[in-house]
Amino acid sequence: MNLLRKHWYDIGGVLSVVVLAFVFINVKSLTDYELLMYLSLVSLFFHQLEEYRIAGTFPGMVNRVMFKSDMPDRYPLNTNTALIVNVVVGWLFYFLAAYFSEKAIWLGIAVIMVSLGNFIVHTFVFNIKGKTFYNAGMITSWLFFAPCVYFFFHIIYSENLISTTDYLIGVPIGIVLNVIGVLKLIDWLKDKNTNFIFEQRNLLPQDRKRNGNKSY
């Protein structure tokens, strides 16, 4: 389990290749909407890689900038919470939205609201609060999430796929995923005495020397 906590985003990178291979093989049989939702799943994998591996400083930014934590390597966001939020919640809902596609447009609305939320938070909130021009996850929000949001609404309206019921179900679920599936889970699972500690590379540069703890 400790291995999974430290490498789930790397596994997501591998899964992105698998999903892209699936899309390439089946592209002629996929509808525009199905194609978009599978690419949306891939965009999530890429986004998480930027947050936790490529740039990697998302945990430190959340804890230090958003929550003003004096223990940014573990509080309130820790490696166990990150696994639950990103894999149990994120992967599950994005996969289901792709798998069921037109049979559950409301699921698509819910996850596209998460993508939109990420774009807004990474573009504006984190940069304003952190007084920065870049934060871990921002580039993939621009390159992948933003286009997915645009083409989602283009497709559902141009192909007349959406209904009022889809909005009535999807929007509340999207709000729940953004608020409870992320923010509340971080709050509910916070623990200053946790052993689920982030590595030094996951902290902001100014915090790395003060936090020499081993990660779990």
CB-based burial label for 124 (10 Å; 0-12, 13-18, 19+): exposed
Let me know if residue 214 belongs to a domain: no
Domain count, the chain: 1
Alpha-carbon 137 to chain mean position: 9
| Res. 210 pLDDT band, cuts 50 70 90 | low
Q: Is 121 exposed, middle or buried (0-12, 13-18, 19+ CB in 10 A)?
A: buried
Instruction: Say if 115 falls within a structural domain.
Output: yes
Please give the average per-residue pLDDT across 50-70, as a whole number.
97
Whether 213 is in a domain gets the answer no
pLDDT above 50 for 186 = yes
Whether residue 171 is contained in a domain is answered as: yes
Mean predicted confidence (pLDDT) in 146-163: 98
Burial label for 160, CB within 10 Å (0-12, 13-18, 19+), is exposed
Report whether pLDDT(213) > 80.
no
Average pLDDT over residues 178-197: 96
Q: Is 171 exposed, middle or buried (0-12, 13-18, 19+ CB in 10 A)?
A: middle
At 214 the pLDDT is 53
Q: Check: pTM over 0.85? Answer yes or no.
A: yes
Q: Is residue 215 part of a domain?
A: no
In a domain, 64, yes or no: yes
CA 165 – CA 106 distance, rounded (Å): 8
Q: Any idea which residue has 């994120």 for tokens?
A: 90
Answer yes or no: is pLDDT of 89 > 60: yes
Per-residue confidence band for 216, with pLDDT thresholds at 50, 70 and 90: low
Q: Which amino acid appears at position 192 of this protein?
A: K
Q: 60 in a domain, yes or no?
A: yes
The reported pLDDT for the residue numbered 182 is 94
Q: Domain range holding 49?
A: 2-205
Per-residue pLDDT of 16-51, as tens digits, reads 999 999 999 999 999 999 999 999 999 999 999 999
> Given phi > 0 = left and psi -120 to 50 = alpha, else beta, which region is 118?
alpha
